[in-house]
Amino acid sequence: RKFVYDFTEGNKDLKDLLGGKGANLAEMTNLGLPVPPGFTITTEACKVYLESGSEPAELRDEVSAHLAALEQRMGKRLGQSDNPLLVSVRSGAKFSMPGMMDTVLNIGLSDTSVAGLAAQAGDERFAWDSYRRLVQMFGKTVLGVDGDLFEEALEEAKQAKGATSDLGLDAADLRQLVEDFKQIVLKEAGREFPQDPREQMDLAIRAVFDSWNGERAKLYRRQERIPHDLGTAVNVCSMVFGNLGPDSGTGVAFTRDPASGQQGVYGDYLQNAQGEDVVAGIRNTVPLADLERIDKPSYDELMQIMETLETHYKDLCDIEFTIERGKLWMLQTRVGKRTAAAAFRIATQLVDQGLIDEAEALQRVNGAQLAQLMFPRFDEAASTELLGRGIAASPGAAVGKAVFDSYTAVKWSRSGEKVILIRRETNPDDLNGMIAAEGILTSRGGKTSHAAVVARGMGKTCVCGAEELEVDTKRRRLTAPGGVVVEEGDLVSIDGSTGKVYLGEVPVVPSPVVEYFEGRMHAGADDADELVQAVHRVMAYADRVRRLRVRANADNAEDAARARRFGAQGIGLCRTEHMFLGDRRELVERLILADHDDERANALDALLPLQRQDFIDLFEAMDGLPVTVRLLDPPLHEFLPDITDLSVRVALAESRKEPHENDLRLLQAVHRLHEQNPMLGLRGVRLGLVIPGLFTMQVRAIAEAAATRREQGGDPRAEIMIPLVGTVQELELVREDAEKVIAEIEARHGVELGLKLGTMIELPRAALTAGQIAEAAEFFSFGTNDLTQTVWGFSRDDVEASFFTAYLEKGIFGVSPFETIDRDGVGSLVKHAVEAGRATRPDLKLGVCGEHGGDPESVHFFHEVGLDYVSCSPFRIPVARLEAGRAAS
């Protein structure tokens, strides 16, 4: 096995092995772009280290060989006292991870080589400043010294000198600062700062390996669902300097605007600075366009390179570069993060430019992004108090209480408060607070600052660099230009699409994408903006290629109509219990409590016409499309009064000697029907078999509604679904009764209704015996909510609020199995049932109607196992359509 690759040996497809950064450095090197020479240590080496606790035996020699080659090419040795080669050591996993150790610069400097660097650069101050940075970064990230100690010492040195920035410190000051920093290292880390350059390099490499398992990195991976066993690569790159004077500098750039997708010159440049100064947002940058004035040849070359990269990667790229005394160097590129809106726009722009085809465009967007675009926005017509504006870093409209630190953000959000995290700038320590907050507001830093990059990645609303707002985290307050003060707990609203920050709660309006799906805005019409056009085109393509059909979970005509506008191809689940709430609850109560057949018959007779009208409305809204009506499912106690309330009422009446005949009778019934475990009790088909006439009343209502619709000239396509079946016998009993009722109604109306009868598969036994059940079912619909509950033994109503957080933190699963299908467990039962069911009945129709039907990742699974359709709530239909298209292409 080879553990080290020179930049000339890799390419962009080796991300698993070389990490994203390493693979792209290699790709740029091979494109002939100016990349400082270097090499990458593979993720394999990291994995060996993490598993065994030590580097693979071969690593040292391989690193030595690559270092020797690098030294030869550069004509100087690492840390050579008169002319030192300096390197950076940077982490670089397959997926970019802001929670990880990033970079140690200037490795190779020591008490002796600092003089060599000074001579080489002709600049003593620069050399000591570089050494100062090395001791600081190395101390913090490699030796684990509290970074604030260095910052405080730097601050003291500036104060002693009366300087406002580090530029006010001269060579002698910095030389003293290096001494102070070395003392801090000795005191805090219990060891000297290493003078041996190779030891510096080896320790930095090991620190990168270790950072893979840092707490912040682990948290970030859980949040982003990145597997924990990938490991990180390490890039060792020869140093170039952006802080060698005014003809040097460093910057970041995007080949297009990551917020809108528009082509143009986007980025920030900082003269006479090193890379981390830009990313940390510590000093204020100038727009990239200004570089044209500062250094035209470098600017022109950069523009040329950006075009090369975009054409080569066929996508938006982001770039880090440095100019050293007028020579441009590329330090990094990658396919850039972007907002949801930009993703759709860029995908269609690239199709129009002929760079990608429609199938590829579909892979460039995803359901989570589409869902984001369906969020409401702030109402522009509302009266608002503008506090100020910053950079629109990540879109969305967020409202919450102002908090000024991560800890409070987490604490308040746990107690159900919505919060906006306000910081001067964020760093990886703020990650928890960013996750907890509705949105993030910073007063410093540009589009590439930590806050902006991380928020975009999380899909969180973010406004950054609102410099006119003065953030005082110590006193927990923000002061706006007019003198308005926002204290901790005050409501603020931030608009990540415009960068505006408002005092108080601003009302929100629907998104244009929802308006488009609702049919209130037409792509191609004058008022349709570019985003709606892009969504329209991508959706049309997804619809053309997808195999899965998409239905809606809807219980009333209104939802059904919306679902249809959103593209639903029928109803996959109408939960009839939702039709029995409100005024009708009392009728159900009567039905349940009936002592005699005629009492029960009376209650059913009263319910029948109501149900029939429900179905007529539903069939009309979905005319011509299948409508799956599920017979009554939930536990009975949901329809009865609360046992405690009722007991109190009875006891009170007794003590007051008031009449309480009815309440007492009710209480006895409630006691009789009380279950310790109602989710596993008398519900679904069990209810239908125990309460005579209930299911046949519902079947009658469905059949009569269908017959009525026929007579009205409609085309009803009803499917009757039986819930919570565990054995084929249950289904056969219900089917027998149902068929009699249907035959009677068909005969009376002289029509064939073509009603289908099927079942939900939502118990493990049903999935395991699906071959038998298919004898009596014309369709299956997987109830993955109950199936997940019963396969895991997790109470679906309780676990998410109880121990799931602990499970997610421990990494037992990366996401709740109620949200994304558990492929290995629940999924394998689904797969078995699909195969067994089709073996019995080849034309068995198969769908899913649990929450998973609208979850992007799960949709891919249902495509793979060969279901015919997914069914989900109306608002998730566009997401399901898009993901079904992505799964098929």
Binding site for ligand PEP (CB under 6 A): 573, 575, 633, 762, 783-786, 849-850
Query: Residue 761: what are its φ and ψ, rounded to 5°?
Result: -110, 100
208 vs 767, which CB is nearer to ligand PEP?
767
Q: Pick what 573 binds: Mg ion, ligand PEP, none; C-beta below 5 to 8 Å, kind-dependent.
A: ligand PEP
Please report which helix (H) or strand (E) contains residue 22, including its range: helix 15-30
20 vs 783, which CB is nearer to Mg ion?
783
What separation in angstroms does the CA of 65 have from each of 4, 39, 71, 105? Answer: 9, 11, 10, 21
CA atoms within 13 A on the CB side of 58: 12
CA distance 756 to 61: 71
C-beta of residue 843 within 8 angstroms of C-beta of residue 865: no
CA distance 309 to 255: 8
131 token code pair: 């050494």
Q: Nearest approach, Cβ of 722 to ligand PEP (angstroms)?
A: 12
- Of residues 746 through 775, those in contact with Mg ion by CB under 5 A are 762
Q: Pick what 295 binds: ligand PEP, Mg ion, none; C-beta below 5 to 8 Å, kind-dependent.
A: none
Neighbours of 662 (CB within 10 A): 9
Instruction: Say whether residue 786 binds Mg ion (CB under 5 A).
Output: yes
573 vs 734, which CB is nearer to ligand PEP?
573
Q: Nearest approach, Cβ of 637 to ligand PEP (angstroms)?
A: 15
Q: Nearest approach, Cβ of 850 to ligand PEP (angstroms)?
A: 3
Q: Nearest approach, Cβ of 864 to ligand PEP (angstroms)?
A: 19
Burial class (CB in 10 A: 0-12, 13-18, 19+), 78: buried
Q: Nearest approach, Cβ of 725 to Mg ion (angstroms)?
A: 11
Q: Nearest approach, Cβ of 723 to ligand PEP (angstroms)?
A: 7
CA distance 198 to 80: 11
Q: Pick what 62 binds: Mg ion, ligand PEP, none; C-beta below 5 to 8 Å, kind-dependent.
A: none
Burial class (CB in 10 A: 0-12, 13-18, 19+), 421: buried
User: Among residues 79, 570, 783, 847, which is the contact residue for Mg ion, using CB under 5 A?
Assistant: 783
Q: Pick what 506 binds: ligand PEP, Mg ion, none; C-beta below 5 to 8 Å, kind-dependent.
A: none
Query: Residue 146: what are its φ and ψ, rounded to 5°?
Result: -60, 120
Q: Nearest approach, Cβ of 462 to ligand PEP (angstroms)?
A: 35
Spatial CA neighbour of 306 closest among 295, 320, 292, 286: 320
318 vs 730, which CB is nearer to ligand PEP?
730
Q: Nearest approach, Cβ of 819 to ligand PEP (angstroms)?
A: 13
- Residue with tokens 């605007």, as numbered in its chain: 257
Spatial CA neighbour of 256 closest among 296, 294, 313, 295: 313
Crossing angle of helices 147-161/124-137, nearest 10°? 150
Among the listed residues 462, 464, 849, 872, the single catalytic one is 849
CA atoms within 13 A on the CB side of 48: 15
849: annotated active-site residue: yes
Q: Nearest approach, Cβ of 634 to ligand PEP (angstroms)?
A: 7
575 vs 749, which CB is nearer to ligand PEP?
575
Total interface residues for Mg ion by CB under 5 A: 3
Residue 72 DSSP SS3: helix
Among the listed residues 66, 237, 450, 462, the single catalytic one is 450
671: annotated active-site residue: no
9 vs 638, which CB is nearer to ligand PEP?
638
Q: Nearest approach, Cβ of 578 to Mg ion (angstroms)?
A: 13
CA distance 436 to 496: 17
Q: Pick what 173 binds: ligand PEP, Mg ion, none; C-beta below 5 to 8 Å, kind-dependent.
A: none
- Residue with tokens 């649990």, as numbered in its chain: 850
Let me know the angle formed at the C-alpha of 62 by 58 and 68, rounded to the nearest 5 degrees. 150
80 vs 789, which CB is nearer to ligand PEP?
789
91 vs 698, which CB is nearer to ligand PEP?
698
CA distance 754 to 758: 13
534 vs 573, which CB is nearer to ligand PEP?
573
Please report which helix (H) or strand (E) contains residue 872, including its range: strand 869-872
CA-derived radius of gyration, the chain: 33
Instruction: Say whether residue 853 binds Mg ion (CB under 5 A).
Output: no
CB contact burial 693-711 (16+ within 10 A = b; e otherwise): bbbbbbbbbbbbbbbbbbe
Q: Which stretch binds Mg ion (CB under 5 A): 63-71, 265-273, 713-721, 777-785?
A: 777-785
257 vs 762, which CB is nearer to ligand PEP?
762
529 token code pair: 């903006």
Let me know the angle formed at the C-alpha of 524 by 521 and 526, rounded to the nearest 5 degrees. 70
DSSP string over 292-309: HHH-HHHHHHHHHHHHHH
Burial class (CB in 10 A: 0-12, 13-18, 19+), 334: buried
Spatial CA neighbour of 759 closest among 789, 729, 788: 729
542 vs 849, which CB is nearer to ligand PEP?
849
Q: Nearest approach, Cβ of 852 to ligand PEP (angstroms)?
A: 8
Please report which helix (H) or strand (E) contains residue 559, including its range: helix 557-565
* Residues recognised as catalytic: 450, 849
Binding site for Mg ion (CB under 5 A): 762, 783, 786
